[in-house]
A and B are shown apart, each in its own frame.
Chain A
Amino acid sequence: MSQLNATITAIQKQDSLHIVTFNAQGFELHMMSLELGSNVIVGANVLLGVKASSVAIAKEFSGQLSYSNQLDLEIQNIDKGTLLCSLQLKSNGLELESIITKASKERMSLQVKGKVTALIKSSDLYIVEIL
């Protein structure tokens, strides 16, 4: 799980369903959620979480994607396994881990210092705690 410090900038609501917008080190992020706690309000500082296996990677991508969260980051480190690999991604003090298959890493020729876009569905992003 990667953790990101963020501030809530907007909350949209439809019955018990919510879309919460955050600012995390200049990146705009969106989270889909059911009921929100009473302390989840615009202006609140939160710790966001996302599972490393829920973070997809795009490189030199052009076109449209439905992912609400698209973060341009740099690969800091690659931990290579037999089938999988873990990428440590960073930009502006924001750190994120992505676990993808090794085959994808090879196919995309991902290298340390390479620029990529991390993709997170808004339904995969969650609040770990209110700070």
Chain B
Amino acid sequence: MIKINIHKALHGVNGEMSLDVNLNIKKGEFVALTGASGSGKTTLLRILAGLEEIEGKIELNTSHKHAIGFMHQNEALFPNMTVLQNLLFIAKDKELAIHLLTLTNLLKLQERYPNTLSGGQKQRVSLCRVMMQRPEILLLDEPLSALDAKMRTKLQIDILKLHKEFKTTTIMVSHDPSEIYKLSTRTLTLENGKIIKDGNTKEVLLKTQGSQKFSFEGELLELKEVDVVVIAIVAIGQQIVEIVLSKEEAKNLKVGTNVTLSTKSFSPSVH
């Protein structure tokens, strides 16, 4: 169990703010940390890693001094060492290094130097390198944000495998709902230094409107009266969709405003 009860004054982009966090994290839990940039996510990770001065208390209940592994968005490997040497530099445990490289399907790259690896391969090696210290707590600061979709999926699988195999308590900063859903069981949302949402990942992520579970936020672009119905054109992210409304439904809608589209989970089909 990690017990966190901390206070820290921050000079954020939006001026002065304070990071106030009081929470318990169970051993072996996979926690996603989300929130707008500048909300204090990275600072919270750095505090847990012992890299920031704070007021308050953190109880980690760990058994060894390298109990915390921290992986950043762009982790640098030692360029003059092979993949295997990079791992062994952290701990002289060849068996563990080979085990990690086998788990992540990187064994064939063990003699390669970092400058011959792709960005995704480097990140995966970095993850193995962090695991060399057998961390009880693994802190991941957007480890996948610089990768393409295919490599992301690979690294997500690696992270989950390692989390399970080593029974680490993992805290990961992420903005990607699909990633958070796949990996974490609990999601914390930070806003201006405070945790505003803390709950089961599915409950936190699932947007609902009453009992309608298929729900999206969008911008109403156009309302067209056709016959006795009204066709609404709505932009959702990069996508434009059309919805058929009755005149009564369309009555109070204004073009240019944000709207929530929702339907029952039974209606959409998947292709």
Per-residue CB proximity of A81-98 to B under 8 Å, as 1/0?
A: 111111000000000010
A40: chain B residues at CB < 8 Å are: 211
Of B211, B265, B267, the residue contacting A37 (CB under 8 A) is: B211
Per-residue CB proximity of B258-271 to A under 8 Å, as 1/0?
A: 00000011110000
Residue from A1, A47, A49 whose CB has the most chain B CB atoms within 10 Å? A49
B227 within 8 A of A: yes
Q: A37-B211, A99-B246 are in contact. Are A82 and B266 (CB under 8 A)?
A: no
Q: A81-B227, A81-B228, A99-B228 are in contact. Are A86 and B247 (CB under 8 A)?
A: yes
CB pair A97 B265 closer than 8 Å: no
A127: chain B residues at CB < 8 Å are: 210-211
In the bound assembly, the distance between CA atoms of A70 and B245 in angstroms comes to 23
CB pair B210 A53 closer than 8 Å: no
**Interface residues in A23-50 (C-beta closer than 8 Å to B):** 31-37, 40, 47, 49
Per-residue CB proximity of A46-67 to B under 8 Å, as 1/0?
A: 0101011100000000000000
- Closest B residue to A80 using CB positions: B228
**Interface residues in B228-271 (C-beta closer than 8 Å to A):** 228-229, 244-249, 264-267
A106 within 8 A of B: no
B212 within 8 A of A: yes
A128 within 8 A of B: yes
- Closest A residue to B266 using CB positions: A123
CB pair B227 A84 closer than 8 Å: yes
Q: A80-B228, A126-B212 are in contact. Are A86 and B246 (CB under 8 A)?
A: yes
Chain A interface size, as a band, is: 20 to 34
In the bound assembly, the distance between CA atoms of A1 and B248 in angstroms comes to 8
CB pair B211 A83 closer than 8 Å: no
CB pair A52 B265 closer than 8 Å: no
CB pair A124 B229 closer than 8 Å: no
Q: A97-B246, A97-B248 are in contact. Are A79 and B228 (CB under 8 A)?
A: yes
In the bound assembly, the distance between CA atoms of A16 and B267 in angstroms comes to 17
- Closest B residue to A125 using CB positions: B264
In the bound assembly, the distance between CA atoms of A5 and B160 in angstroms comes to 46
Which residues in A have some Cβ–Cβ distance to B below 8 Å?
1, 31-37, 40, 47, 49, 51-53, 79-86, 97, 99, 123-124, 126-130
Listed from nearest, the 4 A-B pairs whose CB atoms lie closest are A81-B227, A81-B228, A127-B211, A123-B266
Which residues in B have some Cβ–Cβ distance to A below 8 Å?
208-213, 227-229, 244-249, 264-267
21 contacts between A and B (CB under 8 A): A1-B248, A1-B249, A33-B264, A34-B265, A36-B211, A37-B211, A47-B210, A79-B228, A79-B247, A81-B228, A81-B229, A82-B227, A84-B227, A85-B228, A86-B246, A99-B229, A99-B246, A123-B266, A124-B266, A124-B267, A128-B209
